[in-house]
Structure 1
Amino acid sequence: MTNQLPRQRRRVTGRRALAACAVAALCALTAALPAAADTGASPAPSSARPLSLPAPSGRYRVGEVDLHLVDHSRPDPWRSGQGRRELMVSVYYPATHTAGRPAAPYMLPEAATHFADVTANGYLDLHVPAGRADWARTVTHVTRGAPVAAGRGGRLPVLLYSPGLGEPRTWGTTLAADLAARGYAVVTVDNTYESPEVQFPDGSLATLTMPSDADAFVRKALDVRVTDTGFVLDQLQALNSGRNPDADGQPLPRGLAGALDPAEVGMFGHSMGGTAAALAMDADHRIGAGIDMDGNLTYLDGSLMPVAQHGLDRPFLFLGKDGKTDTGPGWQAFSAHTPGWNRQLTLLGSEHGSFTDAEALVPQLRLRPCERADDIGTIDPATAIRTNEAYVSAYFDHWLRGSSGRLLDGPSPKYPDMVFVK
């Protein structure tokens, strides 16, 4: 790819601050986030520690491939004069013959540098001491490019993952890999110029376009995400029919083409990604089931989003953090207007970041107890991860695979930290 993306993306420019009001479950950000200095593309200090994600709990090994997708029919909505929309996605899938193949990196080098310099302590406010973590060398238990293992019935249900505002798509790797190990194809999506950092195959880096009007920014970002989601689904259908949608023509893992089940599609997301899941389902009936993890259904001015006003005709699950939250009005309105199946659950002792990789990675950063609790709450991290994985997989197993769904019927003594609100 040459000359399609501005070269200035290669460097972080200026100081970063996101002036958005804190509908916290909508954006994962509060008003006036701390600014982060421009340090350029500096490598991680030699003393930085590689972190590790928990191994997936499913029966399969996990493979991964990155795809560079180009929408030639649509100009980029964030950059005037850029005649086509470009996205990066990662596909996680059950894999075989992984021995001897390279591990999939958690973040590519330029993206990892930007995450360390700007995103971690700026957008996500993680309290990470300088030089403490080497994000590029984080261990994922995922193999790059391995052949696809046939799932149950020979085809893989497809799940789309949308991250929160200020979060890269990699921030949901723990859950994506776990679902892939259970026999799903999980596609994580970065929404270019709204994602904090997106590294393209030529090494260029696209970073977040800062808003001048927070409410207008959120409304536009959600609209763009819905359109991006529809485009990604179109490209997955092309892949499934044997065409390679990757703009750079990188070879696909053996067995991936034709392995997807286009009739069984779900979507889940964290914070604004959870909001996007509800809105994308409302716009695209190819998505049969969705999960919103602590994302609001009201705009920054408090008005209800359309999907909260009329609900959905397909199943939807809300997973919320513990304590006082402003997701209430939107979630309650949605439930009141949705005659079909919907549930609202709360993870006791959790914080907003507990539904992301923060739950696995923050404990390795050796933070002060108050900082750690601010990031991921007081719940035991292993318990939070195990509980989230159990309920998310049970939900999709029920609605996309026809499993019993008994875990969704009421409280379970096996997972006492998950409380049924509705």
Structure 2
Amino acid sequence: MITVWYPARRDAEAPATPYATPGLGPAFDTFAGSLGIPAGSVDWAGIGTHTTVGAPVAHAARRLPVVLYTPGRLNPRFLDTSVAAELASHGYAVVAVDHTYESLAVEFPDGRVITPALALAGELSPQVMKAAVDCRVADLRFVLDQLRLLARGGIPDSDDRTLPAGLGAALDLGSVGVFGHSLGGTAAAEVMRLDRGISAGAVLEGPLGYGPDDPELFAPVTHTGLRQPFLLAGSSYTPELPFTHTHVPAWQALWKNSTSWKRDLWTARARHQSYSDFQVLIPALAAHFGTPPPTVVAAMIGDIDPVSFTGARRAYLTAFFDQSLKHRRRPLLDNPTPHLPDVTRIN
């Protein structure tokens, strides 16, 4: 299952997109339970977005660069809608990929809901971790092949359903990027290593390895390096443990072995799930239900202002793909700005 975000015609009449599909409620109640929220209290499909379903693609002077998104382990494909919709508004087609049997739940159009395979639901061994990354890379390459079919006029939908008008013709598959969070960040780096047709990528706190800080468990990309531009973005597991290329051995190896343009951005007050929509969802749920313990919230998303940091993530990822895929220089990547004070460039 994938979702494609793209700039739509302003005059098009189309239904609003729900944040999640209806069948995912029970799976997301498991997450809500970890925050102390009773099952059935949240209407996940009732959460609104600033998007519509099936609208024709907006007419544009140039085709849309394509950006793939691969989420963190167990996270669904729509868990960075805030960034995907922002990129689409700047003239990108953003393709978010669900990794079936690994995502918390994947709902198909026929109503089937697939939950994680047992080996992927708990603590991962290095062998399972590697298998999960390899499967994600295969998923991403398959999706790219299907997008190429779509661009040639084919219909890659499994049930031959009609897709939004103008979508295939609007895609520029000579200009492809990728970004991923956590396990998805490792997959993003690995698919760049294997597919030089991907021109740039961003690793959002991806471990780039399959276990503890043992070079034998580092992902192959850390040894080969990358030739395409890439962006690293990290937070702090704790205030004393910055996730940067100067502190994380696997990131350090990738940085050292890569010959391409690169940047490393660090946000001290963020935490691992800050690089997803959890950054805004958790405070909203906490404000409504008042149940999550502050320590749980802090461990997941830190104490950073959610609106400010979501704006920063949008700004930096848009600037990175503008520079890498549209070849438009973006000074934000070179110089700090007082408008986004929480993000630090690590040289």
TM-score by length of 1: 0.75
Any idea what the Cα deviations from partners look like across 1:281-337, whole Å, max 9, x if unmatched?
Answer: 001111100000011112214322111112101111001013315661111111011
Cα distance in 2 for partners of 1:375, 1:331 equals: 22
Matches within 5 A, 1:262-277: 262-277=173-188
Could you say which residue in structure 1 is the equivalent of 2:330?
405
User: Equivalent residue of 1:364, what SS?
Assistant: helix
Q: 1:294 aligns with which of 177, 184, 205?
A: 205
Any idea what the Cα deviations from partners look like across 1:359-403, whole Å, max 9, x if unmatched?
Answer: 111111124433332221111111000001000000000010011
Could you say which residue in structure 2 is the equivalent of 1:216?
127
Q: CA RMSD in A?
A: 1.7
Any idea what the Cα deviations from partners look like across 1:86-139, whole Å, max 9, x if unmatched?
Answer: xx00000000146542111211111232222x3454xxx555444442211111
Q: 1:188 aligns with which of 93, 96, 101?
A: 96
Could you say which residue in structure 2 is the equivalent of 1:68?
none
User: Equivalent residue of 1:143, what SS?
Assistant: coil
Using the TM superposition, give the Cα deviation of residue 187 of structure 1 relative to its aligned residue in structure 2, in angstroms.
0.3
Could you say which residue in structure 1 is the equivalent of 2:70?
162
User: Equivalent residue of 2:338, what SS?
Assistant: coil
Q: 2:48 aligns with which of 139, 156, 166?
A: 139
Cα distance in 2 for partners of 1:280, 1:231 equals: 11
Cα distance in 1 for partners of 2:172, 2:69 equals: 16
Any idea what the Cα deviations from partners look like across 1:34-91, whole Å, max 9, x if unmatched?
Answer: xxxxxxxxxxxxxxxxxxxxxxxxxxxxxxxxxxxxxxxxxxxxxxxxxxxxxx0000
User: Equivalent residue of 1:353, what SS?
Assistant: helix
Cα distance in 2 for partners of 1:141, 1:225 equals: 28
Give yes or no for the alignment of 1:103 onto 2:12.
Answer: no
Q: 2:5 aligns with which of 92, 111, 126?
A: 92
Q: How many residues align?
A: 330
Q: Is the 8 A contact 1:159 1:186 kept in 2?
A: yes
User: Equivalent residue of 2:332, what SS?
Assistant: helix
Q: Percent identity?
A: 44
Could you say which residue in structure 2 is the equivalent of 1:44?
none
User: Equivalent residue of 1:224, what SS?
Assistant: helix
TM-score by length of 2: 0.91
Could you say which residue in structure 1 is the equivalent of 2:252?
332
Higher relative contact order (CA 8 A, sep 6+): 1
Q: 2:224 aligns with which of 299, 310, 318?
A: 310
Q: Is the 8 A contact 2:13 2:55 kept in 1?
A: no
Could you say which residue in structure 2 is the equivalent of 1:387?
312
Cα distance in 2 for partners of 1:191, 1:358 equals: 19
User: Equivalent residue of 2:168, what SS?
Assistant: coil
Change (3 A) 1:271 1:204: same
Q: Is the 8 A contact 1:148 1:255 kept in 2?
A: yes
Q: Which one-letter code corresponds to 2:171 in the other structure?
A: L
In structure 1, stretches of 5+ residues that fail to align are: 1-87
Cα distance in 2 for partners of 1:312, 1:98 equals: 42
User: Equivalent residue of 1:258, what SS?
Assistant: helix
Could you say which residue in structure 2 is the equivalent of 1:353?
273
Q: 1:201 aligns with which of 109, 114, 121?
A: 109
Could you say which residue in structure 2 is the equivalent of 1:173?
81
Q: Is the 8 A contact 2:69 2:179 kept in 1?
A: yes
In structure 2, stretches of 5+ residues that fail to align are: 287-291
Q: Which one-letter code corresponds to 1:198 in the other structure?
A: V
Q: Which one-letter code corresponds to 1:214 in the other structure?
A: S
Could you say which residue in structure 2 is the equivalent of 1:259?
170
Q: Which one-letter code corresponds to 1:312 in the other structure?
A: L
Cα distance in 2 for partners of 1:309, 1:394 equals: 28
Q: Is the 8 A contact 1:98 1:146 kept in 2?
A: no
Q: Which one-letter code corresponds to 1:234 in the other structure?
A: D
User: Equivalent residue of 1:90, what SS?
Assistant: strand
Q: Is the 8 A contact 1:89 1:188 kept in 2?
A: yes
Using the TM superposition, give the Cα deviation of residue 174 of structure 1 relative to its aligned residue in structure 2, in angstroms.
1.0
Cα distance in 2 for partners of 1:404, 1:320 equals: 23
Q: Which one-letter code corresponds to 1:136 in the other structure?
A: A
